[in-house]
Amino acid sequence: MDLKLAGKTCLVTGASAGIGVGIARSLAREGVRLTILARRRERLEEVAEGIAAETGLRPAIVVADLMDRDAPAAVLAAAGPVDILINNAGLSSKPEIIAADEIWNAGFDLKFTTLRRLTNAFLPSMRAQRWGRIVNITGIVEPYATSAALTACAAVHAWAKGLSRDLAKEGITINCIPPGRINSEQIRSRLHPDPVVTQHYIDQNIPIGRFGEPEELADLVTFLASPRAGYITGTVIPVDGGMSRFAM
């Protein structure tokens, strides 16, 4: 299937490892002209070289910390207007029943406020051309414990739903993808370093019986970013091997 993405421009945040790398590779294979963003230049250079070797298209690189208040304007100036924005940056937060305001504020700043502000920076050009795709990589829809980051992801779902209705007639779609357990640097190093504990978690929670691969989520992102997905907006689509238990 031709996704009609060749020549489209795209910014992928959090593109130095894991899911972000998988998304960048998938889009590049469809001929998308990429800008990849993260805080680690060395990792971005490695990703860019790998994509260039595979596709012949070397992504542009932007090094930025999206927590900086001036970051959205600086990123827009460096990347230029894009047709597609993939909001993938962010880390999980440690569950804590009664957490300090600093933890809650940091969680919302990272997972909601920075995403919203970056999107707002790129929206005017999408509205001017009356076409755009925004895909937000969020977090599981059924938290196992109190979490500032996952609560902020729920806020993203609500914000994105409202925005999708505001902009639908302008040819701009906004969708969210909550990953389940996807093999990535963050998952393996921070959440599941012990193989025995990991297998127990899989047996208890993931009907499909394994963690997902970044490419399996990236393929959905690429489709949602394409002109062929023009009738899909305002959705929350988990990629989690059946881990979600309840209807949304």
Place of tokens 């805080």: 39
- Model pTM above 0.75: yes
Domain 9-229 fold is Rossmann fold (3.40.50)
For 9-46, the DSSP string reads: EEEEESTTSHHHHHHHHHHHHTT-EEEEEES-HHHHHH
CA dist list (Å): 8 to 43, 80, 152, 189: 24, 13, 30, 34
> φ and ψ at 177, to 5 degrees?
-125, 110
> Cβ(34)–Cβ(12) under 8 Å?
yes
Give 179's strand partners: 239
Residue-by-residue pLDDT tens, the chain, 248 positions: 899 999 999 999 999 999 999 999 999 999 999 999 999 999 999 999 999 999 999 999 999 999 999 999 999 999 999 999 999 987 665 677 888 898 899 989 989 999 999 999 999 999 999 999 999 999 988 888 888 899 999 999 999 999 999 999 999 999 999 999 998 777 777 777 788 888 998 999 999 999 999 999 999 999 999 999 999 999 999 999 999 886 55
